[in-house]
Amino acid sequence: PFVLALYEGPSKPLSIPPQQVCVLRPGPLPQADPEERMFEQWESAMQSLPDTALARLDAWDPTHEAVVIVPSASQLQSVGGRPVFGGTPSIRHAIENKSKVDQLFAELHMETAPHQVVPLAQATAAAAALDLGQGTVWAGDNTSTIEAGARALAHVFDEPSAHRARMLLADRCKTVRVQPFLPGVPCSIQGICTPDGVALTVPTEMLVLRDPSLGTFLLVGMSTAWDPPVCVTER
């Protein structure tokens, strides 16, 4: 294999020849939200490999027969003129946009809580109109990247939490979806599409922790231990 890596780290060196490892250093290490920002840096670097990296890759694979394995969240179509395996189709950017999902819900006749999609500057006013007593949740759009893992998400219940939400979303989103905070079990409902139908999987509980003092959410894992009640599954 040939490895295109981003920065050096504390991990044990790979047990492959050094000439088959190319470490990219596109800029300073991100300080805020390093995991997400480093992925964005990596994907940007893969879209336009430096000449030195491209030369090393071409020397290892002069016939361009290699296939590049990319992370599941990547939307790359090719790397260094070579096809990719894995990743996600570009349509994911559209279908995972929290500010546009209500059109899909309407087409499927799904019930939703009251909500508004507004510019960030109008989110506070929308929250005041929608709050049912436990605050509101602001979900940012996909202006800068696919927002997943509860990152562009905030629980707003007073002015300090609203200020923190604006600071979180200001540099990454243009619009936000505002709805009342609803206690419950957040789940990911998925299916496997085949030529002759769709197989529904058991809902996967998203293990999301909430800091009631800050209004922040933290996705810490997933679980299939919880089953929805029959009245829900039969609908």
Sorted by where each begins, the domain ranges of the chain are: 3-86, 97-233
What are the phi and psi torsion angles at 8 (to 5°)? -90, 155
pLDDT of residue 222: 87
CA distance 26 to 233: 48
Mean pLDDT on 113-119: 94
Q: Which pLDDT score is estimated for 58?
A: 94
Higher-pLDDT residue of 87, 78: 78
The overall average pLDDT reported for the chain is 85
- If one counts every other C-beta atom within 10 angstroms of the C-beta of residue 71, the result is 12
Q: What is the pTM of this model?
A: 0.69
